[in-house]
């Protein structure tokens, strides 16, 4: 075991998979000599060479399109989108090609690509309009595409290795604020974290809160705050957004009778709306209060200004206030 940052766990997962399987390669903007803008592929170019660490033009449709072609010819590509805000030019390649490959071939073949994309904002990120967006709701909508977003370094390594070995496409979202703030023990040996199951990070009986990525960090802090007031919040880390672990979600709601979803994206039609709909349809009889969503406001992106960015972001204080209101309902 070694303590490491989330970005180090991401790097270690890719490094180990490239050592294990010579079919695995990395492509994207600045992944080669520069080692990636966040250092995720630092040293890979010298270790594996230009045939397996490919610098690409600034063309996301090319990055994913080439990865699809590579997968069709027996390779296992990891495509890095430098910032998730710029993934949309590859929307057709992801949705119409990669995600539908198994369906269109009647199960004869898949598309084993992993698309890594840093997402999210915050005061520390200073991302502004084009480097702070949350894009998970667009892509979690698509059948045939798995969407994963880890919170701990342990999960980052295990889930990324599972994604690389998955025979179908996986969108692997990494929150930029967690890259160097999230630290934890990570095994040196080979292990996988299965794609799909959620995990309860904090047991509780008063209400259930569902979150992922950086918002899980804020939610756990909020849970600690309100615990001193006698509010016992259960906090569930969704980890995988597609496929969604409906059993864990519903079991938690039936245990506490109250539900809250926290996400950074715009509240309207964000990913939390699907979780709310699931709970309303499948656990309505268990509810003892309204389903609450805490999310970003209806503005185009996280503002660059520090005060405005702080106003945009769901924080531990805002989440704790929502917990108090729901607990008192």
Q: Domain limits at 294? A: 199-328
CB 182, CB 216: distance < 8 Å? no
CA distance 207 to 106: 43
Q: What is the pLDDT of residue 37?
A: 96
CB 322, CB 259: distance < 8 Å? no
Statement to judge: residues 178 and 240 lie in one domain: no
**What CATH number did the domain enclosing 240 receive?**
3.40.50.920
φ, ψ at 174 (rounded to 5°): -125, 120
**pLDDT tens readout for residues 291-328:** 999 999 999 889 999 999 999 999 999 999 999 999 99
pLDDT category of residue 45 using cuts at 50, 70 and 90 = very high
Over range 2-20, report the average pLDDT: 98
Statement to judge: residues 89 and 212 lie in one domain: no
Q: What is the pLDDT of residue 8?
A: 98
Q: Does residue 194 lie within any of the structural domains?
A: no
Statement to judge: residues 159 and 126 lie in one domain: yes
CA distance 20 to 76: 12
**pLDDT tens readout for residues 57-96:** 999 999 999 999 999 999 999 999 999 999 999 999 999 9
Q: Which of 164, 186, 208 is the last residue of a domain?
A: 186
Statement to judge: residues 118 and 97 lie in one domain: yes
Q: Does residue 48 lie within any of the structural domains?
A: yes
Question: How many domains is the chain partitioned into structurally?
Answer: 2
Statement to judge: residues 65 and 9 lie in one domain: yes
Statement to judge: residues 235 and 114 lie in one domain: no
**pLDDT tens readout for residues 90-101:** 999 999 999 999
Longest Cα–Cα distance in the chain = 60
Q: Give the H/E segment covering residue 69.
A: helix 60-72
pLDDT category of residue 125 using cuts at 50, 70 and 90 = confident
CA distance 170 to 115: 6
CB 145, CB 99: distance < 8 Å? yes
Statement to judge: residues 26 and 136 lie in one domain: yes
Tell me which residues are annotated as active site.
Answer: 131
Query: What token pair was written down for 258?
Result: 């109250």
Statement to judge: residues 37 and 172 lie in one domain: yes
Statement to judge: residues 218 and 290 lie in one domain: yes
Q: Which of 151, 186, 221 is the last residue of a domain?
A: 186
**What CATH number did the domain enclosing 98 receive?**
3.40.50.970
Statement to judge: residues 182 and 41 lie in one domain: yes
Is 102 a residue whose pLDDT tops 90? Answer: yes
Q: What is the pLDDT of residue 124?
A: 84
Q: Does residue 191 lie within any of the structural domains?
A: no
Full-model pTM = 0.97
**pLDDT tens readout for residues 203-257:** 999 999 999 999 999 999 999 999 999 999 999 999 999 999 999 999 999 999 9
Statement to judge: residues 99 and 11 lie in one domain: yes
CA distance 117 to 145: 14
Query: What token pair was written down for 12?
Result: 């270690």
Statement to judge: residues 17 and 138 lie in one domain: yes
Structure letter (DSSP) for residue 113 = -
Q: Does residue 192 lie within any of the structural domains?
A: no
Q: What is the pLDDT of residue 58?
A: 96
Rg (CA), the chain: 20
φ, ψ at 42 (rounded to 5°): -60, 125
CA atoms within 13 A on the CB side of 56: 22
Q: What is the pLDDT of residue 126?
A: 84
């Amino acid at each position: 075991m070694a303590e490491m940052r989330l970005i180090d766990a991401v790097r270690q997962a890719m490094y180990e998979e490239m050592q294990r399987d010579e079919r695995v390669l990395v492509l994207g903007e600045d992944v080669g000599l520069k080692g990636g803008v966040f250092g995720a592929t630092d040293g890979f170019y010298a270790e594996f060479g230009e045939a397996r660490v490919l610098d690409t033009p600034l063309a996301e449709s090319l990055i994913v399109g080439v990865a699809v072609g590579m997968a069709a010819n027996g390779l296992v590509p990891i495509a890095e989108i430098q910032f998730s805000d710029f993934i949309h030019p590859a929307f057709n390649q992801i949705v119409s090609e990669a995600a539908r490959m198994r369906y269109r071939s009647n199960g004869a073949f898949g598309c084993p690509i992993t698309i890594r994309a840093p997402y999210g904002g915050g005061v520390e990120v200073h991302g502004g309009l084009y480097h702070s967006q949350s894009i998970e709701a667009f892509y979690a909508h698509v059948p045939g595409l798995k969407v994963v977003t880890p919170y701990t370094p342990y999960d980052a390594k295990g889930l990324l290795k599972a994604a690389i070995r998955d025979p179908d496409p996986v969108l692997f979202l990494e929150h930029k604020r967690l890259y160097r703030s999230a630290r934890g023990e990570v095994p040196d040996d080979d292990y996988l974290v299965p794609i799909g199951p959620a995990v309860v990070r904090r047991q509780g009986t008063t209400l259930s809160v569902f979150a992922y990525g950086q918002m899980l960090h804020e939610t756990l802090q909020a849970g600690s705050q309100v615990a001193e007031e006698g509010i016992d919040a259960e906090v569930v880390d969704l980890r995988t957004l597609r496929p969604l672990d409906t059993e864990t979600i519903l079991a938690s709601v039936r245990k506490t009778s109250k539900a809250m979803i926290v996400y950074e994206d715009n509240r309207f039609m964000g990913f939390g709306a699907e979780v709310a709909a699931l709970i309303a349809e499948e656990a309505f009889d268990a509810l003892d209060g309204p389903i609450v969503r805490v999310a970003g406001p209806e503005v185009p992106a996280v503002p660059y200004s520090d005060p405005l960015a702080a106003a945009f972001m769901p924080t531990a204080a805002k989440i704790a206030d929502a917990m108090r209101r729901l607990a008192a309902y």
